[in-house]
Amino acid sequence: MKFRHLGNSGLKISEIIYGNWLTHGSQVENDIATQCVRAALDAGISTFDTADAYANTVAEQVLGDALKGERRESLEIFTKVYWPTGPKGHNDTGLSRKHILESIDGSLTRLGTDYVDLYQAHRYDYETPLEETMQAFADVVRQGKALYIGVSEWNADQLRAGHDLARSLGIQLVSNQPQYSMLWRVIEEQVVPTSKELGISQIVWSPVAQGVLTGKYKPGQPLPEGSRATDEKGGADTVKSFLTDDILQRVQQLEPIASSLDLTLAQLAVAWVLSNENVAGAIIGASRPEQVESNAQASGVELDADVLARIDEVIGSVAERDPAKTVSPPQRVV
């Protein structure tokens, strides 16, 4: 397992990160979730990403239980705040001071730790002054409940404003967590250049495009039983935009490239996002421990310029590149 610095901080994280969105407390049983976490640890993964909203706080509890007994100093644990939690009342969402300070305590209790290494704003909150949000984050850091601050799916202007406020408050905004894959490249035009300038890393989610870049979805064929595309609990909604025949045909054309490098399609997809120097880590999810073991092998794989060019030629115009697609809800969703 290789490690990279997070932003311009001294913190190093594993370049493969284990995340439990849509799995722990939802899609898979707790014993399987624990097996996946053990597989991650065995593969050298030290960084774990979750959020209070995942399975309405249950995912944090499952992750905390699975990591129990591990040396805390050897782990990097990330969580997030913004989306509705609990009974989803009028103050159970957003980035108000009230919600942030109450949410961090709940997250720490569920995770079974005194602090998180990274506390992230899960989206931008248009209903709360940014000054209030960043002051609350600064207080969380000064209280020792989080070491660093990050955000998720913020656009370039929001990153710049957040970075400047954080700096004025004496804290570090070190990361952004966007969706990024061969098929979803909306951060490349604006977010990545701005982040490089500010010393902010990307921690990317969905590097295999919700499973589409594994090649298991075939054009013109029924969806595989038990796949995310058949999950009525929410998984199907996240993947459907990638399930066009044009995209699926192009994904199949990536197979010879992966084979020539002795990689699976998923490993190629993860290695591709890690080829972006602004990416500190790629978040992988899993419903089976063997998926973790396989995808973790993408760590350290270097793709040369010729391979990257061949991938671009295959993917072509089906990749989404519109920077306006980096967007947070205009109003809090309760």
Rounded Cα distance between 248 and 215, Å, is: 8
Is the Cα dihedral 138, 8, 50, 154 positive or negative? positive
Instruction: From the candidates 54, 82, 119, 217, give the one annotated as an active-site residue.
Output: 54
| CA distances (Å), origin 237, targets 96, 199, 233, 241 | 29, 34, 9, 8
Q: Return the ∠ at Cα 168 (arms to 123 and 98), rounded to 5°.
A: 45
SS3 253: helix
Nearest to 104 by CA among 87, 121, 124: 121
Bridging pattern class, strands 47-49 and 76-81? parallel
Rounded Cα distance between 297 and 208, Å, is: 14
Rounded Cα distance between 75 and 312, Å, is: 35
Nearest to 134 by CA among 110, 150, 117, 156: 150
Task: Identify the DSSP state of 325.
Answer: G
Question: To which H or E segment does residue 121 belong?
Answer: strand 116-121
119 flagged as catalytic: no
- CB proximity list for 138: less than 8 A, separation 6 or greater: 166, 169, 170, 171
Residue type, 54: Y
| CA distances (Å), origin 222, targets 125, 232, 260 | 39, 16, 28
Rounded to the nearest 10 degrees, how much is the dihedral formed by the CA atoms of 184, 173, 283, 222? -30
Residues assigned a catalytic role: 54
